[in-house]
Amino acid sequence: MALQVVGGGELSYRRWREEALRAAVGLAAAGVGPGDRVVLRFSNARWERYAVGFLAVQYAGGVPVPVREDLSEADAAALAALAEARTVLSEGDLPSVPGRVELHLDALLAAHPAPPAGPPHRVGPADPAQVIGTSGTTGAPKGVLAAHGNLTAGLAAHPRRRAYAHSRYALHAFPIGTNAGQVMLLGALTAAPTTLSLPRFDADRFGLAVQEYGIGTAFLVPSMAIELVNAGTAGRYDLSSLRLVNSSAAALPVPVAAALAAALPGVTLVNTYTSAEASPAQVSTVVDPRRPGSLGRPADPGDVRILDAEGLPLPAGQVGEVWLRQPGPSRGYLGAAGPGARVFRDGWVRMGDVGRLDPDGYLYLVDRESDVIKSGALKVSTLRIEEVLHEHPAVADAAALGLPHPVMGAVPVAVVVAGPGGLDLDELRLFLSARLSRPELPVRILLAGDLPRNPSGKVVKHRLRPLFDAPAESTGPAVAPATPTELRLAGLWRRLLGRPVTDVAAEFFALGGDSFRAVQLASAISGEFGVRAGTAMVFERPSLRSQAAWVNHPDRQLGAAHGATAGTGTVTPYLAALRAQPHAVALTSQQENFFRWMSEAPGRDAGAVTALFRVADRLEPETLGRALTEVVRRHPALRTRFEAVGDGVVRAVLDEEPRVRITLTRAPGATDAEVDALLLAERDRLTDLARDPMARLLVVSRSETDHVVLVATHHMVSDGWSVGVLLADLGVFYSALRRGRSAPPARSGPGYRELVDWANAHWPASRAHFAAALAGAPEAVEQFAGRRAVDEVLTTAHEFEVSAALAEALRARAAELGATPFLAVTAAWTGLLAGRSGRPDLVVMTPVPGRPRPDAERTVGCFVQSVLLRVDASGGPGFAELVDRLRTVYSEALDHQLYPFAEFSPSVPFAAWLRYEAWAAPAQLPGLSCEPWELPRGSTVPWPLPGGDRSVPELTVVEQPDGGLRCWLQYNALAFDLPVITELAGEFTAALTAACG
């Protein structure tokens, strides 16, 4: 017996051949000849009749085009038109395909009762053998044409090897017209067991069939495996006959594979990776808990490769496009239905997946290329999110996808199916937050009764997106905030998100929140309720109901009643005197540190924060100068000057009228180098903080449509965040002044003085944290090879790049560890510094905006905080352990970021600087054609460092639009030679590569 339908007909090999030959004669008589495409329209309950029709078309020399039972009349007609099929062969029970000649199989057999001696036409290996429609999960289905040599690749008549000889029966439930179904049909022709087909899969029918027939081999797709696990099929039916279970069509989630293996302990579980385009090329592996998530490796390692976007091979560990080598004649798309040149190339097939190979050649998928969520400069894997969702015991099924976001580009969301006992979404959030990094956490999770799947078992994700168009508050009856805590929280949400909250089940991120707003909400909750709320709480408990429960927890209420315990710390005498000045404006944490640093040695200057760009358009430089003056008028910090009051003490004074240094230079025909010289002189000029303006503008005009603009504000009154605010206001004022209009009023918000006082009020609580964290910390990274002893600093920078492929592999590795790319880069860098110096205890310094208050976004000032991270690299920790340690250190530092940095920086004067910047955008003026203009990083004027320089090079990493990383090592050119720095850059790149291995 070749083939049997469970509960239906059966087909022996003799009958299969004889009926196919008889029908082939009828097809030939009806005009079907070599190369003609014939649509096959059969129901899944008549697999044995479909098998006859398929072979009959091939015996006639034609090309069968099987269509799925679920296809509508219009879709079936579209596939027939794509295949240019004029004939339809059917059993007569399904809708016809308009405009085609309809032939019925039974009628052909009745007209030709005797089989001929041989087929009407003999085919060759290169002749077309079938057309299969793709699954259509990533777009419109395409027709894939395969030759006979493709279908028979790897098979031999002498000696004949019949697969699955350990089984009398092999069971599947794959629909006609799918690639998986075609594999089963070829298996029925060539394999040892009788092929059993379930017309429709469900767990009970599967269990009953295995028990009744003694099935030895079963073929599944992941959705079927999930249903078997959720239904407890192994506990209700006798499945002891099973020896081999093969899953294909999509990646089998690791938790599902583990659960299936546990339910079927005597079974060999195999995962097969292929596609309609690639078959019979495949990668198969016995599921191995020692390599979770691996799809295995081919018998010939050369049959799989990972390529970058330019088509170049990538080494092990790096993430790129997956390609498989196809045996036999290559497949191809019909007509213009698909970009065949991008998929089929020189015997290779592009799988449409993103993945990596480990050093042993085992393949791991990161995601479907079309499913990868590009969130900011990060790429988030939906497979990773789905895998963790499946780990939760109350999740029966899950799918993750990306939704558009106005700032991030896209953000992850998820749809889950609850198990029999129901599912608490707040508890699921906590579960995910312990296993996923912040960028991977779904901003919304919806409950659904089931997931839409195509006949191959793949989730059709575009059908899930409309679910998120419903109101974000809740999928059930709304419950309005009612308790005092819920009402106060709802007020905070409304101020941050600009919309009312009408349901306690509403989630912060679903209503428009993002990571920055989460920091602000945590700060607002801390101030409103007198509790210490970290940003992690917002991610772990995004619903208003769960946040209210967290606030009302007895432990936190007790802490709020007792109040925070202030720590102790040392305040330098000049700072104490400054605070005592009755007319002085309070200084920010960073301003105090700058004054301490500048007072230690004459000639030191904190320098300027700059924005630099070229305007390839008509510009009115005088108007731009007036606009900057009005910007300075709007922001008090930019009108600050600093006066000495004796004994090294200064006070900050806010002038009433704005002062701006404006330099407009006409330089017709000036070279870029000549322009750079003018820019550098202005950027690096020393500032008299008591007399000089804090804001400066230089415009170098080479022609009416060629201007280079430098906007600089002294770091004492500004920071990187402030420059973004300044540029936005500058664009508004410039546009208004050009048109003779007045600029719109400033947005409401806290005054500069108020915000400084508020931030400084956090110092007592945060002082205790850093005092404990930095107790006994080393002053520098000592014994650093290649560093000379010098007492002056002249900085320069060495630029290098980390490829997009390696950066993507690093993000994938970070995601596996539940960390951000910043933490992964920090771990690689600190591990390198510790190894190079032989000292595992070191301190890393990194900047954060210092604006946790939501209403502080538009406030200009020097609010940036330099957080100090003490890193323990002792015990030779692996990369994963170091990332885990850093996660804890960094989270605690963020929650205490408002602290008196000037009190702690002297104890670690040579902390290792690291800057990580994401989503960097070039400076510009809205409405004008602007281009980036860069100056060399570093300084042109040396400054003294009494006692000697013991610093290590400063690392800056900036994410690029293509996903790569642009890096600089900024170093003291008097202390280091360039070869030392280039060697260090190479070691850092190697450390990133090793981290991804």
pLDDT tens per residue across span 650-706: 678 888 889 999 999 999 989 999 999 899 888 888 888 888 899 999 999 999 999
Question: What is the band of 515 on the pLDDT scale with cuts at 50, 70, 90?
Answer: low
The pLDDT score that the predictor gives to residue 647 is 60
Per-residue model confidence as pLDDT tens digits over 592-640: 888 888 877 766 788 889 989 999 999 999 999 999 999 999 999 999 9
The pLDDT score that the predictor gives to residue 377 is 47
Q: Is the pLDDT of residue 474 over 60?
A: no
Q: Is the pLDDT of residue 487 over 70?
A: yes
> Of 168-177, 365-374, 540-549, 663-672, which gets the smallest average pLDDT?
365-374
Tokens read off for 608? 């300027």
> Of 56-70, 181-195, 760-774, which gets the smallest average pLDDT?
760-774
Q: Identify each DSSP E strand in 105-161 by its residue range.
A: 128-133, 143-147
Ordered structural domains, the chain, with CATH: 9-123 (3.40.50.980), 371-469 (3.30.300.30), 484-562 (1.10.1200.10), 573-751 (3.30.559.10), 755-996 (3.30.559.30)
The pLDDT score that the predictor gives to residue 46 is 93
**Which stretches within 709-841 are classed as H helix?**
720-738, 752-760, 763-773, 804-816, 821-837
Query: Taking residues 854-864, what's their average pLDDT?
Result: 84
Question: What is the band of 378 on the pLDDT scale with cuts at 50, 70, 90?
Answer: low
Q: What is the CB neighbour count within 10 angstroms for residue 278?
A: 26
Query: Taking residues 289-293, what's their average pLDDT?
Result: 82
> Of 506-510, 531-535, 601-605, 992-996, which gets the smallest average pLDDT?
601-605
**582/577 Cα distance (integer angstroms):** 10
Question: What is the band of 339 on the pLDDT scale with cuts at 50, 70, 90?
Answer: low
Q: Is the pLDDT of residue 472 over 60?
A: no
Give the side-chain half-sphere CA count within 13 A for 737: 19
The pLDDT score that the predictor gives to residue 845 is 94
The pLDDT score that the predictor gives to residue 119 is 92
Amino acid 727 reads L
Question: What is the band of 842 on the pLDDT scale with cuts at 50, 70, 90?
Answer: very high
| Mean pLDDT value across the chain | 85
Output the pTM of the full model.
Answer: 0.54
Q: Is the pLDDT of residue 896 over 90?
A: no
| Residue burial 589-599, b: 16+ Cβ < 10 Å; e: rest | bbbbbbbbbbe
DSSP states of 29-66: HTT--TT-EEEEE--GGGHHHHHHHHHHHHHTT-EEEE
Tokens read off for 534? 């970290």
**Cβ partners under 8 Å of residue 172, min gap 6:** 180, 181, 184, 195, 196, 197, 198, 218, 219
**Angle separating helix axes 821-837 and 804-816, nearest 10 degrees:** 100
The pLDDT score that the predictor gives to residue 573 is 35
The pLDDT score that the predictor gives to residue 574 is 33
**Cβ partners under 8 Å of residue 86, min gap 6:** 36, 37, 100, 101
Q: Which residue in 428, 433, 431, 434 sits closest to 415, CA to CA?
A: 428
Query: Taking residues 149-162, what's their average pLDDT?
Result: 87
Residue 737 sits at φ, ψ, to 5 deg, of -65, -35
The pLDDT score that the predictor gives to residue 325 is 92
| Neighbour-count burial of 892, counting CB atoms closer than 10 A to its CB (0-12 exposed, 13-18 middle, 19+ buried) | middle
Query: Which H or E run contains 555?
Result: helix 554-562
Question: What is the band of 275 on the pLDDT scale with cuts at 50, 70, 90?
Answer: confident
* Rounded percentage of the chain residues whose pLDDT exceeds 70: 91
Question: What is the band of 533 on the pLDDT scale with cuts at 50, 70, 90?
Answer: confident
The pLDDT score that the predictor gives to residue 426 is 79
Q: Is the pLDDT of residue 799 over 90?
A: yes
The pLDDT score that the predictor gives to residue 888 is 84
Query: Taking residues 948-957, what's their average pLDDT?
Result: 93
> Of 299-303, 555-559, 942-946, which gets the smallest average pLDDT?
555-559
Q: Is the pLDDT of residue 234 over 90?
A: yes
Query: Taking residues 449-468, what's their average pLDDT?
Result: 83
Per-residue model confidence as pLDDT tens digits over 536-568: 788 778 889 889 988 887 766 544 544 433 333
Give the side-chain half-sphere CA count within 13 A for 204: 0
The pLDDT score that the predictor gives to residue 309 is 79
Q: Is the pLDDT of residue 470 over 50?
A: yes
